[in-house]
A = this chain, B = another copy of it.
Amino acid sequence: MLDVRKLRLLRDLADRGTIAAVAAAHNYTPSAVSQQLAALEREAGAALLARTGRGVTLTPAGAVLAAHAEEVFAALERATAALAATRTGLTGPLRIGAFPTAMRTLLPTALATLAREHPGLDLTVDELDPALVPARLRDGSLDVALVHDYDLVPIAPDPALETAPLLDETMYLAATRPLDLAACRDERWILAGPGTLCHTMTIRACEAEGFLPRARHHADDFVTVLTLVAAGQGVAVVPELALRPPSSPSAAAAAAPSSPSDPAPVGPSGPGAAPVAPAGVVLTPLRTRRRTRFAYRAGTGAHPSIAAFTAAVRAA
Contacts from A to B (Cβ < 8 Å)? 1-5, 7-8, 44-46, 60-61, 64-65, 67-69, 71-72, 74-76, 78-80, 82-83, 85-87, 92
For A46, list chain B residues within 8 Å (CB).
83, 86-87
CA distance A2 to B75 in the complex (A): 11
CB distance from A201 to the nearest CB of B (A): 36
- Contacting residues, chain B, for A72 (C-beta < 8 A): 72, 75-76, 79
| Known A4-B4, A46-B86, A87-B46; contact A71-B75, beta-carbon cutoff 8 A | yes
Q: How many copies does the complex hold?
A: 2
**Contact present for A71 and B80 (CB under 8 Å):** no
Contact (A75, B82) CB under 8 Å given A1-B4, A4-B1, A87-B46? no
- Pick the contact of A1: B1, B69, B71, B76 (CB < 8 A): B76
Q: Which residues does chain B contribute within 8 Å of A71, judged by CB atoms?
A: 75, 78-79
When distances are taken between beta carbons in the complex, the residues of chain B under 8 Å from A75 are 68, 71-72, 74-75
* Residue among B67, B69, B79 making CB contact with A68, cutoff 8 Å: B79
